[in-house]
Amino acid sequence: MMRERQHGPLILPGGGVTFRLWAPAANQVEIVTEMEVVAATPRDGGWHDATIADARAGEHYKFRIDGDIDVPDPGSQFQPNDVQGPSEVIDHAYDWQATNWRGRPWHEAILLELHVGAFTARGDYRGVIEKLDHIVDTGFTAIELMPLSDFPGRWNWGYDGVLPFAPDSVYGTPEDLKALIDAAHARGLMVFLDVVYNHFGPEGNYLHRYAPAFFTEDAHTPWGAAIDYNVPQVRAFAIENALHWLEHYRFDGLRLDAVHAIAACGTPPILTALSEAVGELAARSGRLIHLVLENDDNETSLLDPAEQPSRGKHHAQWNDDYHHAWHALLTGEDAGYYSDYHAQELLPRVLSSGFAYQGEPSTHRGGKPRGEPSGMLPAPAFVSFLQNHDQIGNRARGERLDVLAPAAAVEAALAVTLLAPMPPLMFMGEEWGATQPFPFFCDFKGELADAVREGRRREFKEAYERQGEDGDIPDPLDEATFRSAVLDWSAQNKARLALVKRLLRVRRETIIPRLMPLGPRGDTASFDDGVLTAAFQITGGTLSLLANLTHAESAKLSAFSPPHMIWGDVPPGTLPAWSVFWGWSER
């Protein structure tokens, strides 16, 4: 059973629905249904509730605040008519087919990140179901969905969600989402969801009107006043939301967006409390549930991939440092945060000990120290990637890596990334070398749309002027910008897809079985004159890497002589440009 929830409607066993709203700044709250208006009873702690005996699943309703404004339920579990419309009562009973599914161990994760609306021309959950066999055949063991929380308009990246319990209706119904997860589980795929607990989107959120205590002016984020997790009702909102996705929809894990931007964490910190609650669910249900962070602060104290079920820690973190070091090497870019990433020094570090910045000062961040020592954590604590939605879409034109770097260089980087011990993540279409953009897109209206459009143009115009480039920026509000991001499945590079399939098969058959048990790392790496070498100590022996990451031939390193080659033939007398070799030796 799920913890007793405070937020959202409660369907009663004997019939009827209790509607609840935390509205400490409201003098009067009414529930407005299609048939009646019912006054809610004020309760201690700022709560208002009312039970409507003849209400059922499917009921549409709003809350009326002080007779002045009708608002959706912040705990709404579905919005059939977008964020400004009424909320719908959802019965989460579902006839699950993959009844024996209990998840997969974290070290088996090979992730494909995707945006439901842009993954197929259909742009919905059923469209994703149609492509699950491709995902499995390629070699992935998990999919990760970009945020689904209800957002304003017809399309959005997902990070402007305002009703975090409600999967957006543009992708289908809650039943459709469950069908996707059930179908993935039937194929052995884990399903992760990206969730956002650091801010609400700019349109359709009314919490400031009736629950201003949800936020604190004592701490601010890039989106305004911080969500205040010192407040018990606010803490419950986030924890209940995590459990909602994991229990009602049976997601296998969550990726928590930009937790460094959670400025009012509370005591104990909200991340600790959320992890403990998820661990309780995992223990009760016998499921393997995984929590992954995005955290620019590189706090290793939050991570432990061996803690199952979770008891306050999180299994892994997206390793932006890994991406940045590779991107700087492959593209030669050195503007913005790439100025901090000198591949000769930092690429060996991210391969052998996790983060590039483990307490050192960051020039891009004004010389402030960043990160904590990470070498003691096992490799599965760090999710590695060469591309993701952020690193593509936060570029002005949304260019993918295959547009910015030579194919041979990208394929060498893939051969390293997909066979190294760290769990790899790819972005939809990357497996076949997609070159179409994935720009930022949204569907706001009026003054907000104008502000977003002009703000983005201003941001990137300045960057282009510094680089002497053309400042033509796609309009994020234009439907054509969204359409340009929808994957063209007919444009697959068959050779690239075959390469990725071979790499992932080697990973599943040779690497993954040797990643357990998890223990401290004793890995080494060096990068000299464009030649990368590394040795990873995993179960039963040493996994060795030799790679020439330059455009020219290089002299072979005679020290590389593993008895079992698992990728590439025995290295020749000279190393071809952009060549990668992996070998295995027993202890």
Which CA distances in Å does 19 have to 165, 232, 559? 15, 19, 70
Cα angle 369-293-380, degrees, rounded to a multiple of 5: 95
**418-448 burial, b if ≥16 CB within 10 A, otherwise e?**
bbbbbbbbbbbbbbbbbebbbbbbbbbeeeb
The pairing of strands 382-383 and 368-369 is unpaired
Q: How far apart are CA 119 and CA 489, in angstroms?
A: 9
Pairing between β-strand 316-318 and β-strand 290-293 as defined by DSSP bridges: parallel
* Residue 340 main-chain phi, psi, to 5 deg: -85, -5
Q: Residue 62's closest CA among 85, 80, 92, 90?
A: 85
b/e burial code for range 481-510 (CB count within 10 A of at least 16 → b):
bbebbbbeeeebbeebbebbeebbebbeeb
Cα–Cα distance between 277 and 487 in angstroms, integer? Answer: 37
Q: ∠ CA(200), CA(258), CA(226), 5° rounding?
A: 45
Token pair belonging to 306? 């061996």
Active site residue 399: no
* Whether residue 257 lies in the annotated active site: yes
Phi/psi for 552 (5° steps) reads: -125, 160
Residue type, 246: L
CA atoms within 13 A on the CB side of 324: 23
- Which of 294, 320, 430, 443 is flagged as catalytic? 294
Is the sign of the CA dihedral 585, 563, 140, 118 positive or negative? positive
Number of Cβ atoms within 10 Å of the Cβ of 68: 11
State residue 282 phi and psi, 5-degree precision. -60, -40
- Which amino acid is residue 278, in one-letter code? V
Helices (H), 64-192: 116-119, 125-130, 132-138, 174-186
Query: Which residue among 257, 320, 390, 523 is the active-site one?
Result: 257
CA distances from 219 to 160, 231, 245, 298 (A): 20, 14, 28, 21
Q: Are 306 and 323 in contact (CB under 8 A)?
A: no
Task: Kindly state the greatest CA–CA separation across the chain.
Answer: 83
Query: How far, CA to CA in Å, does 211 sit from each of 24, 68, 85, 214?
Result: 6, 15, 20, 6
Distance between CA atoms of residues 84 and 205, nearest Å: 9
What positions carry a catalytic annotation?
A: 257, 294
